[in-house]
Chain A
Amino acid sequence: MYIALAFVMMARAIAEAAVMRLQQALALDGGFLSEAHYAELFSTHGTIMIFFVAMPFVTGLINIVVPLQIGARDVSFPLLNSISLALTAVGAALMMVSLVIGDFSTGGWTGYPPYTGIVFSPGEGPDYWIWAITLSSVGTTLTGINFAVTIYKERAPGMSFMRMPMFTWTALCSAILMIFALPPITAACVMLALDRYLDFHFFTSDLGGNMMNFANLFWLFGHPEVYLLILPAFGVFSEVIATFSGKRLYGYASLVAATMCIAVLSFTVWVHHFFTMGGSPYLNAVFGAATMTIAIPTGVKIYDWMATMYRGRIRLTVPMVYALGFMMLFVIGGLTGIQLANPTISYQVHNTLFLVAHFHNMLVPGVLFGMLAGYTYWFPKVFGFRLEDRWGYVAAYGWILGFMLVFFPLYVVGLLGMTRRTYDYTTAAFQPWMIVSAVGAGVVLFAFAALVIQLVRSIQGRSALADTTGDPWDGRSLEWSIPSPPPAWNFAVLPEVKDRDDFTRQKEGGAAWNPAAQYDDVELPRNRAVGVIVFLTGTLLGFALVWHVWWMAAAMLAMIVALVIWIGFQGISTETVSAARVYSVDCDFLARKRAALGKSAASGVNTVDPVGRARA
């Protein structure tokens, strides 16, 4: 669900990005967009990409994969999960409504007052921004709690922390960031709303307001946010690289330590986003140096992945191509990040396209490639068939090339002095770069089209691509030991974990795919309509707040309170799946599994033969 949402929102955000690039290509002395329209575009693009593409994508992936990796039946609180999803969807719905009714904010994804205050932006735009973010941020906090409890309390017997797969580790760290980094943005948004609606003076220019506090609070959230997004991507790459190198992850303990370091350090560097505000050199130096320390654990991670490939058997599958593209490109973005961490360099390139190039260099090869790799990697697990390869490769290489064409020129024009968020310019020297960049956007668009084609082709050819083994890649962690798609109860019998790469251990020891000694009844939570109700009331609430329809806002708030109390009076509703049913499904799978193994061994084509490979 999260991922479907991300997909829809992405389609819009991509279209916007392409329009922006085209505008800037043609924008020497004007272009085809009005300045206000361009401002709305970068604001919606940034907001959507971060909050309604990257976040739901990450959340969705964790939601699907983590319970499977830790040998659990589901996340700890399925009801809470549906409420979080509903709140995220509320935010996305508000973004979409703003397209049709009224205008969106023009203040960028950062929404700094006083520009977004009532004095300078009296319209409804910033209100859309505020409520879309506030409501979805509450959902994200709840999601974080859910994930943290799931990982703490639902691990299969024997899975100590140091036996957890890397992706689960990064999910845990992301969950921690969701829990602790979202409150500042919630607070900042509510304060801004109070300024706008009730004439409070948190961030106004007059009567003692302090606009610098907004920047402070925003980045107190904003910086951890970007690591929240990148850590699960790191987790995906860890899984992908280990699997496709056919090797244990190198330096597991180092990777865990590095992940934790990054998560904690990410709370100590936020001032680097406003070195240019005029703080004292001591303040800037402290935060600059703190920022640089993040390079250490990040570097360790990159080196660890290289060492994982070293002495491996590298299969260049589509996820692996993304992983390699990521490693090559990400270190360049990291290098420019290090430069930005120097206050004196930030003085020069802050707010220029150099900065824009830096963060896309982290977000696209880092987060986006990570999510695409994860999508390709776990797709067969979720849907029961693999994604077709050919268009997958086209897309992957298209992304890599397109990314470089779009964003490397932006480094140059940034250094040449072109500021971000400018819809036109008068310096002729910028234009060639802008044109290269626009062409790159075309390549990116094409790569995206390739993804769509790939999906369509794969669905058409799903019988040929079917994954009957449950283990299409010769995977190493528990999710590959069960059928694809997994039954509602995930594991017929909760596994007993004895090793870090427990499934590999099972395969090597011949313990994989053996029927269990005993099957038990499984209790599953029943679906309830609560999520839908929260979505509807939440969307109406946000809409009412944006348009000052007070009676509706009050009614919706009352309804939410009533809903909470009503849930409180409901019993826990579960349904029981009988042991016999679980047993028969499992036997079915094991039988199919044996048949499939026999067949692929006989035909000898290029389908993966996990067992053969593992024993070789």
Chain B
Amino acid sequence: MTQDAPRHPGLNLGRHHPEAHAENEKLMFGFWVFLMSDLILFGIVFATYASLTNPMGQAGGPTPRDVFSLTSAAMQTAILLLSSFTFGLASLALKYRQPSLRAWLAVTLLLGLAFLGLELRDLVQMVADGAVPQRSGWLSAFWVLVPLHGLHVAAGCLWLAVMLVQVTLFGLTTQVSTRLARLSLFWHFLDVVWIGVFSVVYLGGLA
């Protein structure tokens, strides 16, 4: 029983990885604290964005209605949410040491890349429309907020790729399992931040 007792946030590894389960306690807690610090960073950028989303901040330049597409935002949201789910399946596969682990990780990676692709497409379109960060305070904030999240997702994708290599090379060693556990926290956390992005930026802007 005690072996199964959760020691940290996220999915616990439990008795199937006794050593990693114990080892994970302070690593996961530390990572969790880091994420909370990151959350504040996002909060600051969100607040800046919100305070510039007004005619004064837009300085006569493009407004949300001019540059956002609800469809694209919905697609990105759907993809990211789905990737959270597939990462969940990967976590379960990890916990019970099932061979499907790598497949789910790969699916998640592909979804992440698809998300980034769509976001990039939107950004390129915005540049074409003249909605560049140099145009207004509001656009400056947009170009920091959304790409900041995108950068996190890109880092997550890179990390996923590295972990796929490591799982293949080293197998589910203690270190690899604890890293995967942290990556899963990171990935789910990014999805939580995305809730803020689509609610504040896209839905708030288009409502």
Structural contact, A179 and B137, CB atoms closer than 8 A:
no
- B45 surroundings in chain A (CB, below 8 A): 187
- B144 surroundings in chain A (CB, below 8 A): 190-191, 194, 200
In the assembly, what is the distance between CA of A153 and CA of B32, in Å? 13
What is the distance, in angstroms, from B67's C-beta to the closest C-beta of chain A?
15
What is the distance, in angstroms, from A568's C-beta to the closest C-beta of chain B?
6
In the assembly, what is the distance between CA of A522 and CA of B56, in Å? 63
B195 within 8 Å of A by Cβ? Answer: no
What is the distance, in angstroms, from A117's C-beta to the closest C-beta of chain B?
13
Structural contact, A187 and B41, CB atoms closer than 8 A:
yes
B189 within 8 Å of A by Cβ? Answer: no
A interface footprint on B150-161 (CB within 8 Å = 1, 0 otherwise): 000000001000
A interface footprint on B22-47 (CB within 8 Å = 1, 0 otherwise): 00011001100110111011001100
- B52 surroundings in chain A (CB, below 8 A): 208, 210
A230 within 8 Å of B by Cβ? Answer: no
CB interface residues, A 185-237, toward B, < 8 Å: 186-188, 190-191, 194-195, 198-202, 204, 206-210, 213, 217, 220
What is the distance, in angstroms, from A262's C-beta to the closest C-beta of chain B?
19
A572 within 8 Å of B by Cβ? Answer: yes
Select one of B30, B133, B179 contacting A149, CB under 8 A. Answer: B30
Contacts A179-B37, A199-B133, A207-B135 given; 11 further ones with Cβ under 8 A? A149-B33, A183-B38, A184-B44, A186-B41, A187-B44, A188-B44, A198-B134, A200-B133, A201-B139, A217-B44, A217-B48
- A571 surroundings in chain B (CB, below 8 A): 175
- The residue in chain A whose Cβ has the minimal distance to the Cβ of B174 is A572
- B30 surroundings in chain A (CB, below 8 A): 76-77, 145-146, 148-149
What is the distance, in angstroms, from B116's C-beta to the closest C-beta of chain A?
17
- The residue in chain A whose Cβ has the minimal distance to the Cβ of B30 is A149
A282 within 8 Å of B by Cβ? Answer: no
Structural contact, B134 and A145, CB atoms closer than 8 A:
no
Select one of B25, B57, B134, B158 contacting A210, CB under 8 A. Answer: B57
In the assembly, what is the distance between CA of A209 and CA of B202, in Å? 21
- A-B CB pair tally, cutoff 8 Å: 108
Structural contact, B58 and A208, CB atoms closer than 8 A:
yes
With contacts A183-B40, A201-B134, A213-B48 taken as known, whether A152 is within 8 angstroms of B29 at the C-beta atoms is: yes
Select one of A76, A154, A183 contacting B44, CB under 8 A. Answer: A183
A565 within 8 Å of B by Cβ? Answer: yes
Structural contact, B136 and A201, CB atoms closer than 8 A:
yes
With contacts A149-B30, A569-B166 taken as known, whether A201 is within 8 angstroms of B41 at the C-beta atoms is: no
What is the distance, in angstroms, from B23's C-beta to the closest C-beta of chain A?
9
A180 within 8 Å of B by Cβ? Answer: yes
In the assembly, what is the distance between CA of A370 and CA of B37, in Å? 28
**Residue positions of A touching B, CB distance < 8 A:** 76-77, 141-142, 144-146, 148-149, 152-154, 179-180, 182-184, 186-188, 190-191, 194-195, 198-202, 204, 206-210, 213, 217, 220, 561, 565, 568-569, 571-572
- B25 surroundings in chain A (CB, below 8 A): 153
B98 within 8 Å of A by Cβ? Answer: no
List the 7 shortest-distance A-B pairs measured between CB atoms, nearest first: A208-B137, A208-B59, A183-B41, A200-B140, A153-B26, A149-B30, A208-B57
Structural contact, A149 and B26, CB atoms closer than 8 A:
yes
Structural contact, B136 and A207, CB atoms closer than 8 A:
yes
- The residue in chain A whose Cβ has the minimal distance to the Cβ of B35 is A145
- The residue in chain A whose Cβ has the minimal distance to the Cβ of B139 is A201
In the assembly, what is the distance between CA of A194 and CA of B132, in Å? 13
What is the distance, in angstroms, from A217's C-beta to the closest C-beta of chain B?
7
- The residue in chain A whose Cβ has the minimal distance to the Cβ of B44 is A187
- A202 surroundings in chain B (CB, below 8 A): 48, 137, 140-141
- A152 surroundings in chain B (CB, below 8 A): 26, 29
Structural contact, A568 and B141, CB atoms closer than 8 A:
no
Structural contact, B140 and A180, CB atoms closer than 8 A:
no
In the assembly, what is the distance between CA of A76 and CA of B144, in Å? 33
B198 within 8 Å of A by Cβ? Answer: no
Structural contact, B143 and A200, CB atoms closer than 8 A:
yes
What is the distance, in angstroms, from A444's C-beta to the closest C-beta of chain B?
37
B100 within 8 Å of A by Cβ? Answer: no
What is the distance, in angstroms, from B6's C-beta to the closest C-beta of chain A?
15
Structural contact, A179 and B44, CB atoms closer than 8 A:
no
Structural contact, A210 and B51, CB atoms closer than 8 A:
yes
- B162 surroundings in chain A (CB, below 8 A): 565, 568
- The residue in chain A whose Cβ has the minimal distance to the Cβ of B136 is A208
In the assembly, what is the distance between CA of A77 and CA of B59, in Å? 47
In the assembly, what is the distance between CA of A195 and CA of B135, in Å? 12
Which of B38, B44, B179 has the most chain A CB atoms closer than 10 A to its own CB?
B44
- B187 surroundings in chain A (CB, below 8 A): none
B186 within 8 Å of A by Cβ? Answer: no
- A207 surroundings in chain B (CB, below 8 A): 59, 61, 135-137
- The residue in chain A whose Cβ has the minimal distance to the Cβ of B57 is A208
Select one of A210, A217, A561 contacting B137, CB under 8 A. Answer: A210
What is the distance, in angstroms, from A393's C-beta to the closest C-beta of chain B?
42
With contacts A145-B30, A208-B56 taken as known, whether A183 is within 8 angstroms of B166 at the C-beta atoms is: no
- A194 surroundings in chain B (CB, below 8 A): 133, 140, 144
In the assembly, what is the distance between CA of A176 and CA of B26, in Å? 16
- A179 surroundings in chain B (CB, below 8 A): 33, 36-37
In the assembly, what is the distance between CA of A186 and CA of B45, in Å? 11
Select one of B37, B48, B51, B141 contacting A141, CB under 8 A. Answer: B37
CB interface residues, B 171-207, toward A, < 8 Å: 175, 179
What is the distance, in angstroms, from A195's C-beta to the closest C-beta of chain B?
8
B104 within 8 Å of A by Cβ? Answer: no
- The residue in chain A whose Cβ has the minimal distance to the Cβ of B56 is A208
Structural contact, A149 and B135, CB atoms closer than 8 A:
no
Select one of B61, B133, B136 contacting A198, CB under 8 A. Answer: B133
- The residue in chain B whose Cβ has the minimal distance to the Cβ of A148 is B33
B138 within 8 Å of A by Cβ? Answer: yes
- A569 surroundings in chain B (CB, below 8 A): 166
Which of B61, B137, B139 has the most chain A CB atoms closer than 10 A to its own CB?
B137
What is the distance, in angstroms, from A561's C-beta to the closest C-beta of chain B?
8
- The residue in chain B whose Cβ has the minimal distance to the Cβ of A179 is B37
In the assembly, what is the distance between CA of A369 and CA of B44, in Å? 34
Can you name 12 A-B residue pairings with CB atoms under 8 Å?
Answer: A76-B30, A148-B33, A152-B26, A182-B37, A183-B40, A183-B41, A198-B133, A201-B140, A202-B137, A204-B137, A209-B140, A220-B44
What is the distance, in angstroms, from A487's C-beta to the closest C-beta of chain B?
23
Structural contact, B137 and A201, CB atoms closer than 8 A:
yes
- A195 surroundings in chain B (CB, below 8 A): 140
In the assembly, what is the distance between CA of A187 and CA of B140, in Å? 13
In the assembly, what is the distance between CA of A146 and CA of B141, in Å? 31
What is the distance, in angstroms, from B84's C-beta to the closest C-beta of chain A?
23
